[in-house]
Structure 1
Amino acid sequence: MTAPTPFFDGHNDFLLRLLKTPAPREETWLGATGRGHLDLARMKDAGFAGGLFAIFVPPASSGPPPDFKALMANPPYALPMPPEMTHAQAQPNALAMAGLLHWMERSAPNDFRVCRSVAEIRAAMVQGVIAGVMHMEGAEAIGPDLDALYLFHDMGLRSLGPVWSRPTIFGHGVPMAFPGGSDTGPGLTEKGKDLVRLCDQLGIIIDLSHLNEKGFDDVARVSSAPLVATHSNAHALCDSPRNLTDRQLHMIRERGGMVGFNFATFYLNADGTADTGTRWEVMLRHLDHLIAQTGEDHVGLGSDFDGCVLPDLIGDVTGVRRLFETMAAHGYGDDLIRKLAHENWLACIDRCLN
C-alpha cells in the first residue's frame, strides 16, 4: 500500500472528547478503540500530519447538556442559543483542554508535538511527528481585560474564533437554524475589536467560521491579516447560516486567506439533514464551488472531526485517504490535491503568524 497523502486539518474537537473521557485517558488517545473520529493510531495511519485542535467550552447547564446533533437532525429548526458565559465560568475547562493538548505531547513525544509556527510544523512533518496547533472556538475564557490571551498565547494558542454560536462579550455568532443566512444581529463589540487588534499583534489567526455577517465584515475592517474560516462550506449549496456566501468567499480570496472544507453533513446537504449517506458528489460539489469562488490556493480541509455527524463514506480520519482518491478520480491533479491537503494551510498560517 502506498503511503497516504499527508494532510493538515483546520478543525477538530478531539480535546472536548478527551475532556469528557473519564480518567485515565490514555486509551482514548493512545489506544485503538475505534471510537470517535480520532486517536493517535488512526491519525498516523491516515496521514494526519497536523491540525488545529479546538478548545471549546460546552454550554453551562444545570442538567444534561443539549444534544445538538439530535436537535439539528430534522430541518427546519431554529434552536435557542445557550446563554452567554463569563470568563470565570469558561476558564477552568479551557485551561483543562489546553493542558490536555500538552499532555498529548508528553504522553507521545515521538509522535505528537505542540507547534507554534510553520517552521515547527514543517520540522515535525519531516520527522513524521503530528503537529498540534492550539485553537480556541469561542473566546469566553479570555475575559474582558484580555490578559488571559497572553497566557494562552504562551501555551501555544495560534488561532481563535471570537464566538461559537452563542454570544460573547466580543460579538455574536450565527444562529443554529436551517434554513437561513448569517446576516443576523450586530457585529463585533468594542471589546471584540480590541481582541482582534491584539490577536494581530501577537500573531493569532482570527477564525470567522461562527461569526455572523456583520462580525465577519468588522474583522475584515479591523484586522490587517488574511481572512480565515477554519471549517465552513458554501452557502450557495447549503442554506445554513454556518456556511459562507460567495461575497465572503471572494473577500477571503482577496485577503489571501483560507476556508477549511467542513465534512459535517449538516453543512453539506442541500436540505440541511444529518444524512450519513451523503454522497461523494455532494462533497465534491462544495469543493468545486469553494475553489471556483476562492481560488485553488485558498482552500483546505476543516473536517470538524469529533464534533459533527460525518458521511459514512468518510467515517473517521482514515476516510480522508478515500476522499483524496475520489478527488483524483474527479479530475483534481496531484499538485492541487497537495495544495488542498496541506500546502495551502501552511502557506496561510505562515502569512498570518509572520
Structure 2
Amino acid sequence: AECEDADEGAKVTDDGEPKACGVCGDLARGYHFNALTCEGCKSFFRRVVKRSTQLHCPLLNNCTITKKSRRSCQACRFRKCQAIGMRGEMVMSEEQILERRIRIQEKKMRAAASQLSPRQEEMIQELLLGHRSTFDPTFSHFRGFRSLDRNTHQIIKSVIEPFDLTTYMIQDIIRFSKSFQAFRSLSMGDQITLLKGATFEIMQIRFNMVFNSKANNWKCGSLTYCLGDAVRAGFQPLLLEPLLKLHQTLRKLDLQEEEYVLIQAMSLFSPDRPGVLQHSVVDRIQESLALTLKTWIDCKRTDPEKHLLFPKVIACFTEMRTMTEEYSKQILQIKDLQPDTISPLIMEVVSKDG
C-alpha cells in the first residue's frame, strides 16, 4: 500500500513556477495523496477520510470551491478533491505513521538490550522538569477561582470561571514548551504554529491527570468541574461527548508521569501542523519522543499487557487530533454570543489562517 507521505517531497513544478491547488486555487505546496494541492486542502482531505463522515451539500451539489469559499461546503470540496485524483487509501493514520517509524528504529536497535539510552534518560528528565515547573495539579497558583453558579441559565455568570482557567492553562503550556531547548531552537514562526496546534491537546492531557473516571469530573484545586459546566459555558455535544470518552479511555491506561509528559511533547512536536517550515527537524524530534515512550514502556512496565499500551496511547493521541478543529469552532461561536468571556490569548490560539 502506498503511504501518505510518499510524495511529500515532490516538487510543485519542474520550472520553479508556482502552481495552483487543483481544489481551491490557493498556492500548491506539492503533491498530496496523488494530486497537486495546497496545505489546507491536504489537511481537509485527510480529516474527512479519517473521520469517515457522510457529507451533504445544503444546495445543489455544485458549489464553486475557491480559497475564500472552500469552508462553506465540505461536501463539494471533498467531491472536488476526489475529482482531481486524491486517493483516500493513501491517507495513513497517525498510528500507522508512528508505528512504521518505530518498526524501522527497532530493527536498528534489536541487537541491543531494551533499555533507555543516556540521551533518552536526559530527554525524560528535561520534560519532567519543564512539566513540574509549569503544572501544579492542586492549582494552588491560580487566583481566578470564583464560585460557580450552577443554578442559573445565564451563560455569562457561569462561563467566565472556566475560561479564566483555560487562559491560565495556556500560559503554563507556553512556558512548558519554551522550557525545551529543542523547541527554542526552532524558528519563531514554527514555535507559534506548533503551539497553536498543540495547545488544546496538551491542555486535555493535563486535565486528564486530575480526571476522576468514577465520578466523571475534574478536580481543579478548590473546585470540581463536570461536563455540565462546559454545557453552561456554551460547548456543544459534538465536542463534549467524544471528549468525555477520551478522558475515560486515557485515564484507564493508568499512565505514569513520564508517559504523560512524553505524550505532551509528542503533541507539541507534530510535523504535520499546517504551516510548519522546519518539517524534517520537527519530524525527527517527534520520532525520537515516540521511540523513547515505547522504550520507557518496555523497560519500566511489568504488567503482562504492556505491549498493548503504546498503540492504545497513540490511538488516544490520534483521537485528540480530531477534536481540535471542533473546539476552535465552538470557541468562536461562544465568542460571538458572549464577547467578554473569551480572552485575547484564547482567541490567538484558536484563530488560524484559512
Q: Per the shorter chain, which TM-score range? A: under 0.3
More strand by share: 1
TM-score, normalized by length of structure 1?
0.25
More helix by share: 2
